Amino acid sequence: MDAVSIIRAKRDGGVLTDAQIDWVLDSYVRREVAEEQMAALAMAICWRGMDRREIARWTAAMIDSGRRAVLSGLDRPTVDKHSTGGVGDKITLVLTPLVAACGAAVPQLSGRGLGHTGGTLDKLESIPGWRSDLTKNQFEAQLRSVGAVVAAAGPDLAPADARLYALRDVTGTVESVPLIAASIMSKKIAEGTGALVLDVKVGSGAFMKTLPDARELAETMVALGTDSGVRTSALLTDMATPLGLAAGNALEVAEAVEVLAGGGPADVVELTLALAREMLDLVGLPVDPADVLADGRAMDCWRRMVQAQGGDPDAALPAAAERHEVLAPAAGVLTEVDAFAVGLAAWRCGAGRVRKEDPVSAGAGVTLRQQRGATVHAGDVLAVLHADDPARFGGALEALAEAFTIGGGTGEKLPLVIERVGG
Ligand code: URA
């Protein structure tokens, strides 16, 4: 077998055999297939696609490139959530302790932010003392004692995906349903969870800009999970506008803590409860998460989860040194607050990174003062930019130039939870 004939077969619209898929991924991990060959194959897959059998085999081969964890010795069912990534998406921070406080075990292996969407680990690392690098034994022990753990994936979790994702990121080959589905599901299946809820985002701030593309991604991932013995369902949710009012690491932690304390923006609460109900349904726990959020049990679990990983839940969160207000140029109804533009502005303020080894600023980001649908007056503060260096405000303001649409109507909008996919 050789890489060039596999690339040619896919380039010309062919269907790869199981043996070709196993060979090319195994040889890539062993560095016998060169980066440029894998890049060419990824581009061919972007153009030609893969059928369901190819995607399932590609996923299985990526799982087999590392270890598939078995989460044993737990007295409760395991269930995880994965979001395809959006702006202001701090749901994991609230959902993980909430669902654990409802009686499930939530094993979250998360990543860092790249581009305009934030990463859960970057957000949690803004809490003084908190660390993400747990050993397998520490991870499992915390899952038993607290029921909730958010940690970095180790190098043995689908290592083929780690290399391939980095390559796709720099070769314009991220946006492919088969490659995204296989990438996400190989990690989630290898993590060892018994059930999984996918939050597939749709809109300007998401990978999937249209509903048909998001639906196809959700259906592909649900089928991959189910066929691998993981009970899986998906919610398609709106990412045309940011979630909540905060985008940026410590800013989002602060907003998540507000929700855990019984307050916070209504959209963050709504989505958290919708995902929690879906997770609890999958594992057959008839508990109302709204009660567990309201009576403080979710907050107690958050505190234990943060402390178990060295963090101080009472410590002041870092704040950026400089602020800049963005004012409404006219009066009217805020018919649009564009998620991508706000994510880009937060990133340019210093909340995100360009290369994966770059540091992030814990305090940087954007806080919105108004959400889509609000009535504003000329001169009202629409948003506040936060940065350590005021030189960053120019680029962030440029990103926000078209972000706010002020009009006369009420604005068209999709519901927050658009649709459910799954058995
Ligand atoms: N997230 C992943 O883990 N992989 C992708 O391909 C896209 C988003």
pTM listed for this prediction: 0.94
Within 6 Å (CB) of ligand 1, which residues are found?
Answer: 165, 174, 179-180, 183-184
> Could you please report the per-residue DSSP string of 353-368?
-SSTT----SS-EEEE
The tokens describing 326, both together, are 């963005």
* Cβ atoms of 71 and 192 closer than 8 Å: yes
> Is pLDDT at 81 greater than 70 in this prediction?
yes
Q: How remote is the CA of residue 35 from the centroid of ligand 1, in Å? A: 18
Hey, what domains does the chain have and what are their CATH numbers?
A: 3-49 (1.20.970.10), 79-315 (3.40.1030.10), 322-407 (3.90.1170.30)
> Could you please report the per-residue DSSP string of 332-400?
EEEEEE-HHHHHHHHIIIIIS-SSTT----SS-EEEESS-TT-EE-TT-EEEEEEESSGGGHHHHHHHT
- pLDDT exceeding 70 applies to what percent of the chain? 98
* Active-site option among 132, 183, 204, 233: 183
* Cβ atoms of 267 and 337 closer than 8 Å: no
Query: Which amino acid is present at 325?
Result: E
Give the residue among 156, 63, 69 at the shortest CA–CA distance from 105: 69
Residue 183 known to be catalytic: yes
> Is pLDDT at 303 greater than 70 in this prediction?
yes
* Cβ atoms of 236 and 218 closer than 8 Å: yes
- pLDDT given at position 390: 97
Encode pLDDT of 237-286 as tens digits. Answer: 999 999 999 999 999 999 999 999 999 999 999 999 999 999 999 999 99
Residue 116 known to be catalytic: no
Helix (H, G, I), strand (E, B) or coil at 11: helix
- pLDDT given at position 115: 64
Q: How remote is the CA of residue 300 from the centroid of ligand 1, in Å? A: 32
Residue 53 known to be catalytic: no
In this structure, which residue's CA is closest to atom 6 in ligand 1?
180
Encode pLDDT of 104-122 as tens digits. Answer: 999 998 877 666 667 899 9
Give the residue among 99, 111, 125, 184 at the shortest CA–CA distance from 153: 111
Indicate the top mutation candidate among 83, 117, 174, 186 to test ligand 1's pocket, ranked by most ligand atoms within 8 A of CB: 174
Q: What angle do CA 230, 231, 237 make, to 5 degrees?
A: 115
In this structure, which residue's CA is closest to atom 1 in ligand 1?
184
Neighbouring residues of 212: CB distance < 8 A, sequence distance ≥ 6: none
Bridge-based pairing of strands 322-327 and 381-387 is antiparallel
Residue 187 known to be catalytic: yes
| Mean pLDDT for the stretch of residues 3-30 | 97
- The order of strands in the sheet holding 231-238 is 79-83, 195-202, 231-238, 417-421
**Where is average pLDDT lowest: 19-28, 64-73, 176-185, 405-414?**
405-414
- pLDDT given at position 85: 86
Mean pLDDT rounded to a whole number for the chain: 94
* Active-site option among 81, 90, 116, 168: 168
